[in-house]
Protein backbone atom coordinates (compact mmCIF):
# COMPACT_ATOMS: atom_id res chain seq x y z
CA UNK A 1 0.00 0.00 0.00
CA UNK A 2 1.35 3.44 -0.89
CA UNK A 3 2.05 5.92 1.85
CA UNK A 4 -0.29 8.91 2.13
CA UNK A 5 0.97 11.65 -0.15
CA UNK A 6 3.82 9.49 -1.51
CA UNK A 7 2.72 9.50 -5.11
CA UNK A 8 2.14 13.24 -5.30
CA UNK A 9 5.41 13.95 -3.52
CA UNK A 10 7.32 11.70 -5.91
CA UNK A 11 5.68 13.48 -8.81
CA UNK A 12 6.83 16.80 -7.33
CA UNK A 13 10.42 15.52 -7.33
CA UNK A 14 10.14 14.24 -10.87
CA UNK A 15 8.70 17.54 -12.01
CA UNK A 16 11.63 19.36 -10.46
CA UNK A 17 14.22 17.15 -12.13
CA UNK A 18 12.59 17.36 -15.56
CA UNK A 19 11.65 21.03 -15.51
CA UNK A 20 13.28 23.27 -18.05
CA UNK A 21 13.83 26.76 -16.75
CA UNK A 22 14.42 29.69 -19.05
CA UNK A 23 17.71 31.24 -17.99
CA UNK A 24 17.32 34.47 -16.05
CA UNK A 25 20.06 37.07 -15.68
CA UNK A 26 19.93 39.98 -13.26
CA UNK A 27 21.30 43.43 -13.81
CA UNK A 28 24.09 44.33 -11.48
CA UNK A 29 22.84 46.60 -8.73
CA UNK A 30 24.77 48.87 -6.43
CA UNK A 31 24.96 47.50 -2.93
CA UNK A 32 24.76 43.87 -4.11
CA UNK A 33 27.96 41.84 -3.89
CA UNK A 34 29.13 39.43 -6.59
CA UNK A 35 28.28 36.51 -4.29
CA UNK A 36 24.77 37.86 -3.70
CA UNK A 37 24.31 38.36 -7.45
CA UNK A 38 25.33 34.76 -8.16
CA UNK A 39 23.10 33.38 -5.40
CA UNK A 40 20.05 35.25 -6.71
CA UNK A 41 20.64 34.09 -10.27
CA UNK A 42 21.12 30.51 -9.11
CA UNK A 43 17.86 30.63 -7.17
CA UNK A 44 15.94 32.05 -10.12
CA UNK A 45 17.34 29.38 -12.45
CA UNK A 46 16.94 26.42 -10.10
CA UNK A 47 14.10 24.05 -11.18
CA UNK A 48 13.80 22.72 -7.61
CA UNK A 49 13.17 26.23 -6.29
CA UNK A 50 10.42 26.78 -8.84
CA UNK A 51 8.91 23.33 -8.25
CA UNK A 52 8.91 23.94 -4.48
CA UNK A 53 6.97 27.16 -4.92
CA UNK A 54 4.49 25.48 -7.22
CA UNK A 55 3.94 22.53 -4.86
CA UNK A 56 3.71 24.67 -1.74
CA UNK A 57 6.91 23.44 -0.06
CA UNK A 58 8.68 25.94 2.17
CA UNK A 59 12.04 25.37 0.46
CA UNK A 60 13.78 23.29 -2.19
CA UNK A 61 15.26 21.21 0.65
CA UNK A 62 11.91 19.41 0.90
CA UNK A 63 12.88 17.45 -2.22
CA UNK A 64 16.00 16.12 -0.48
CA UNK A 65 13.88 14.43 2.19
CA UNK A 66 11.38 13.23 -0.42
CA UNK A 67 14.19 11.58 -2.37
CA UNK A 68 15.80 10.09 0.74
CA UNK A 69 12.43 8.71 1.84
CA UNK A 70 11.72 7.27 -1.60
CA UNK A 71 15.05 5.43 -1.42
CA UNK A 72 15.16 4.33 2.23
CA UNK A 73 11.46 4.22 3.26
CA UNK A 74 12.09 6.32 6.35
CA UNK A 75 8.63 7.74 7.04
CA UNK A 76 5.71 5.43 7.72
CA UNK A 77 2.10 6.19 8.68
CA UNK A 78 1.65 6.75 12.40
CA UNK A 79 5.28 7.57 13.14
CA UNK A 80 6.55 10.11 15.67
CA UNK A 81 9.07 12.39 13.97
CA UNK A 82 11.46 15.07 15.30
CA UNK A 83 12.80 17.69 12.86
CA UNK A 84 15.93 19.46 14.19
CA UNK A 85 16.83 22.78 12.58
CA UNK A 86 13.34 22.78 11.14
CA UNK A 87 13.16 26.35 9.75
CA UNK A 88 11.62 27.22 7.38
CA UNK A 89 9.57 24.03 7.79
CA UNK A 90 9.96 22.08 4.55
CA UNK A 91 11.03 18.81 6.15
CA UNK A 92 8.22 19.01 8.70
CA UNK A 93 5.79 19.51 5.81
CA UNK A 94 7.09 16.39 4.07
CA UNK A 95 6.88 14.30 7.27
CA UNK A 96 3.24 15.35 7.77
CA UNK A 97 2.29 14.79 4.14
CA UNK A 98 3.90 11.35 4.13
CA UNK A 99 1.79 10.13 7.00
CA UNK A 100 3.65 10.83 10.26
CA UNK A 101 1.14 11.00 13.11
CA UNK A 102 3.10 13.45 15.22
CA UNK A 103 5.78 15.84 14.02
CA UNK A 104 7.72 18.20 16.28
CA UNK A 105 10.13 20.71 14.75
CA UNK A 106 12.79 22.64 16.66
CA UNK A 107 14.85 25.63 15.55
CA UNK A 108 16.57 28.68 17.03
CA UNK A 109 14.62 30.75 14.50
CA UNK A 110 10.87 31.30 14.55
CA UNK A 111 8.93 29.10 12.10
CA UNK A 112 5.63 29.86 10.45
CA UNK A 113 2.99 27.29 11.51
CA UNK A 114 2.86 23.99 9.59
CA UNK A 115 -0.50 22.23 9.70
CA UNK A 116 -0.12 18.91 11.48
CA UNK A 117 3.18 19.79 13.18
CA UNK A 118 4.18 21.25 16.55
CA UNK A 119 6.97 23.80 16.09
CA UNK A 120 9.22 24.96 18.91
CA UNK A 121 11.65 27.88 18.96
CA UNK A 122 14.67 26.95 21.04
CA UNK A 123 18.01 25.16 21.29
CA UNK A 124 17.91 21.38 20.83
CA UNK A 125 20.84 21.20 23.27
CA UNK A 126 18.59 22.43 26.10
CA UNK A 127 18.80 19.63 28.70
CA UNK A 128 15.04 19.80 29.29
CA UNK A 129 14.11 19.39 25.62
CA UNK A 130 14.27 15.57 25.31
CA UNK A 131 11.67 15.11 28.06
CA UNK A 132 9.51 17.86 26.59
CA UNK A 133 9.65 16.28 23.15
CA UNK A 134 8.72 12.85 24.44
CA UNK A 135 5.71 14.44 26.10
CA UNK A 136 4.66 16.25 22.93
CA UNK A 137 5.18 13.12 20.84
CA UNK A 138 3.31 10.93 23.27
CA UNK A 139 6.25 8.54 23.54
CA UNK A 140 9.71 7.92 22.07
CA UNK A 141 10.52 9.18 18.58
CA UNK A 142 10.57 6.82 15.61
CA UNK A 143 12.67 9.13 13.43
CA UNK A 144 14.95 12.12 14.09
CA UNK A 145 15.81 14.34 11.13
CA UNK A 146 18.53 16.99 10.99
CA UNK A 147 19.15 19.21 7.99
CA UNK A 148 21.19 21.59 10.15
CA UNK A 149 24.40 23.18 8.93
CA UNK A 150 26.58 25.83 10.61
CA UNK A 151 27.36 29.13 8.96
CA UNK A 152 30.23 28.47 6.57
CA UNK A 153 33.61 30.18 6.88
CA UNK A 154 34.82 29.47 3.35
CA UNK A 155 37.58 27.23 4.71
CA UNK A 156 36.62 23.72 3.62
CA UNK A 157 38.39 21.80 6.40
CA UNK A 158 37.00 24.06 9.12
CA UNK A 159 33.46 23.95 7.70
CA UNK A 160 33.64 20.15 7.46
CA UNK A 161 34.69 19.74 11.10
CA UNK A 162 31.98 22.15 12.24
CA UNK A 163 29.15 20.33 10.49
CA UNK A 164 30.42 16.93 11.68
CA UNK A 165 30.44 18.30 15.23
CA UNK A 166 26.87 19.55 14.79
CA UNK A 167 25.76 16.20 13.36
CA UNK A 168 27.33 14.39 16.33
CA UNK A 169 25.39 16.62 18.74
CA UNK A 170 22.20 15.87 16.80
CA UNK A 171 22.97 12.16 17.04
CA UNK A 172 23.57 12.35 20.78
CA UNK A 173 20.20 14.07 21.08
CA UNK A 174 18.56 11.45 18.87
CA UNK A 175 19.82 8.65 21.09
CA UNK A 176 18.04 10.26 24.03
CA UNK A 177 14.63 10.36 22.33
CA UNK A 178 14.58 7.45 19.86
CA UNK A 179 12.76 4.23 20.59
CA UNK A 180 14.04 0.80 19.62
CA UNK A 181 14.23 0.38 15.86
CA UNK A 182 14.18 4.15 15.26
CA UNK A 183 15.97 6.05 12.50
CA UNK A 184 18.24 9.07 12.20
CA UNK A 185 19.12 11.30 9.23
CA UNK A 186 21.68 14.12 9.34
CA UNK A 187 23.51 16.36 6.92
CA UNK A 188 27.31 16.15 6.74
CA UNK A 189 29.95 17.36 4.29
CA UNK A 190 32.33 15.21 2.28
CA UNK A 191 35.90 15.32 3.49
CA UNK A 192 36.83 12.12 5.27
CA UNK A 193 35.81 12.71 8.87
CA UNK A 194 32.27 11.50 8.16
CA UNK A 195 33.77 7.98 8.03
CA UNK A 196 34.91 8.41 11.63
CA UNK A 197 31.31 9.19 12.51
CA UNK A 198 29.81 6.33 10.50
CA UNK A 199 31.92 3.56 11.99
CA UNK A 200 30.94 4.02 15.66
CA UNK A 201 27.33 4.66 14.63
CA UNK A 202 27.19 1.04 13.53
CA UNK A 203 27.35 0.14 17.20
CA UNK A 204 24.09 1.97 17.88
CA UNK A 205 22.13 1.23 14.66
CA UNK A 206 21.49 -1.88 12.62
CA UNK A 207 22.23 -0.16 9.29
CA UNK A 208 24.23 3.00 8.55
CA UNK A 209 24.58 4.45 5.06
CA UNK A 210 25.24 7.76 3.40
CA UNK A 211 23.60 9.24 0.33
CA UNK A 212 23.54 12.33 -1.84
CA UNK A 213 19.97 12.91 -3.05
CA UNK A 214 19.52 14.30 -6.57
CA UNK A 215 18.13 17.55 -5.14
CA UNK A 216 21.52 18.32 -3.57
CA UNK A 217 23.31 20.69 -5.88
CA UNK A 218 26.10 19.06 -7.87
CA UNK A 219 28.63 21.62 -6.69
CA UNK A 220 27.70 21.04 -3.04
CA UNK A 221 29.79 18.75 -0.83
CA UNK A 222 26.82 17.81 1.34
CA UNK A 223 25.91 14.21 2.08
CA UNK A 224 23.30 12.68 4.36
CA UNK A 225 23.98 10.00 6.94
CA UNK A 226 21.01 7.60 7.12
CA UNK A 227 20.89 5.25 10.12
CA UNK A 228 18.07 2.80 10.86
CA UNK A 229 17.35 0.08 13.40
CA UNK A 230 18.32 1.92 16.60
CA UNK A 231 19.62 -0.34 19.39
CA UNK A 232 19.21 1.41 22.76
CA UNK A 233 21.22 -1.26 24.55
CA UNK A 234 24.24 -0.55 22.33
CA UNK A 235 23.99 3.23 22.42
CA UNK A 236 26.28 3.43 25.43
CA UNK A 237 29.09 1.90 23.39
CA UNK A 238 28.67 4.71 20.85
CA UNK A 239 28.82 7.35 23.59
CA UNK A 240 32.08 5.91 24.86
CA UNK A 241 33.62 5.94 21.39
CA UNK A 242 32.53 9.53 20.76
CA UNK A 243 33.37 10.69 24.32
CA UNK A 244 29.80 11.84 24.81
CA UNK A 245 28.13 12.13 28.22
CA UNK A 246 25.65 9.38 29.21
CA UNK A 247 22.07 9.81 27.98
* Domain residue spans of the chain: 7-55, 59-242
pLDDT confidence of residue 50: 79
Question: Is 57 annotated as ligand-binding?
Answer: no
pLDDT confidence of residue 133: 92
Strand partners, 119: 105
Q: What is the pTM of this model?
A: 0.80
State the sign of the Cα–Cα–Cα–Cα dihedral 130, 246, 229, 186. positive
pLDDT confidence of residue 92: 98
Question: Is 147 annotated as ligand-binding?
Answer: yes
pLDDT confidence of residue 95: 98
CA angle 159–163–169, rounded 5-degree value: 150
CATH number listed for the domain at residues 59-242: 3.40.50.150
Closest to 68 (Cα-Cα) out of 46, 42, 98 = 98
Over its length of 247 residues, how does the chain's per-residue pLDDT go in tens digits? Answer: 334 444 444 445 554 544 444 444 445 555 556 555 454 455 555 677 778 888 899 988 999 999 999 999 999 999 999 999 999 999 999 999 999 999 999 999 999 999 999 999 999 999 999 999 999 999 999 999 999 987 767 777 777 778 888 888 999 899 999 999 999 999 988 766 567 777 778 889 999 998 999 998 787 888 999 999 999 988 776 666 555 555 5
Question: Is 91 annotated as ligand-binding?
Answer: yes
- Catalytic, out of 3, 28, 54, 187: 187
Is the Cβ–Cβ distance between 187 and 222 less than 8 Å?
A: yes
pLDDT confidence of residue 247: 53
187 is catalytic: yes
Q: Does the N-terminal peptide bond of residue 155 adopt cis geometry, omega within 30 degrees of 0?
A: no
pLDDT confidence of residue 149: 81
d(Cα 201, Cα 208) in Å, to the nearest integer? 7
Amino acid sequence: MDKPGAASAAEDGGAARSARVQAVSLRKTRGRTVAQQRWLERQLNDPYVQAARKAGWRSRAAFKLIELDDRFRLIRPGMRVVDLGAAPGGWSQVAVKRGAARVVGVDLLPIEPVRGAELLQGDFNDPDLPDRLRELLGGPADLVLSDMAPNTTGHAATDHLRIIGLAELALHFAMQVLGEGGGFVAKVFQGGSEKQMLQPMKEAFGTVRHAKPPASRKDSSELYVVATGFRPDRAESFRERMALPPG
